[in-house]
Amino acid sequence: MRVIAGSARRLLLKTAEGMDTRPTTDRIKETLFNILQNDIPGCIFMDLFSGSGAIGIEALSRGAELAVMIEKNPKAAACIRENLEHTRLADRAVVMERDVLEGLRRLEGRNYRFDIIFMDPPYGQGLEKQVLAYLAGSPMATADTLVIIEAAREESFDWLAGSGWRLIRTKEYKTNKHVFVGRESR
């Protein structure tokens, strides 16, 4: 796994050993960032369920002003820190080693307003619903915040109706997909 583009282009990234994380492949990461390319420079980015930190690091490499990464697995969080040092991007990153919802609660009151929030939760556990329910009541996600959820391809997002979030688009791959959502208009 490597950084695709930007200031840390071609640098290899470590991943935590074992099957606790599911790294986004380089091809899928490249497709995602081609979609986001005009929104990344200068943005405030959040990477939830960060794993190796590859998505947040890619955003930083491509010009994000700040990336906040939340990952509860200690080995994965250590891997994120190593990758940030290796890519020389640690000065623009915040790594929180804790449960995602606890991390979000700890961020409240720090005046963060995220432009893009990416999450790659464990599939089939409904964690994306919990995160979106939390963010619906948080000033960290504004009317302009784009949320991207990586999910199993067969997972339905019909539940978005009435959740305070609306489907913007879906990009499907062989086994998974990216679901782009934004706040519902009031």
pLDDT value at position 27?
81
Confidence of residue 5 (pLDDT cuts 50, 70, 90): low
The residue with greater pLDDT, 50 or 10, is 50
pLDDT higher than threshold 90 for residue 21? no
For range 157-166, the mean pLDDT:
92
Confidence of residue 100 (pLDDT cuts 50, 70, 90): very high
Give strand pairing partners of 2: 12
* pLDDT cut 90: percent of the chain above it: 72
Model pLDDT for residues 64-82, shown as the tens digit of each residue: 999 999 999 999 999 999 9
Ranges of each domain in the chain: 26-183
pLDDT higher than threshold 80 for residue 1? no
Model pLDDT for residues 127-155, shown as the tens digit of each residue: 999 999 999 999 999 999 999 999 999 99
Look at residues 91, 34, 78, 22 and name the one whose alpha carbon lies nearest to residue 58: 34
pLDDT value at position 18?
57
CA 14 from centre of chain: 17
pLDDT value at position 112?
94
Cβ neighbours of 168 (radius 10 Å) = 12
For range 48-53, the mean pLDDT:
91
- Look at the alpha carbons of 136, 141, 146, 152 in this order and tell me if their dihedral is positive or negative: negative
For range 6-20, the mean pLDDT:
62
CATH, domain range 26-183: 3.40.50.150
Nearest-angstrom CA–CA distance, 128 and 122:
9
pLDDT higher than threshold 60 for residue 93? yes
pLDDT value at position 19?
44
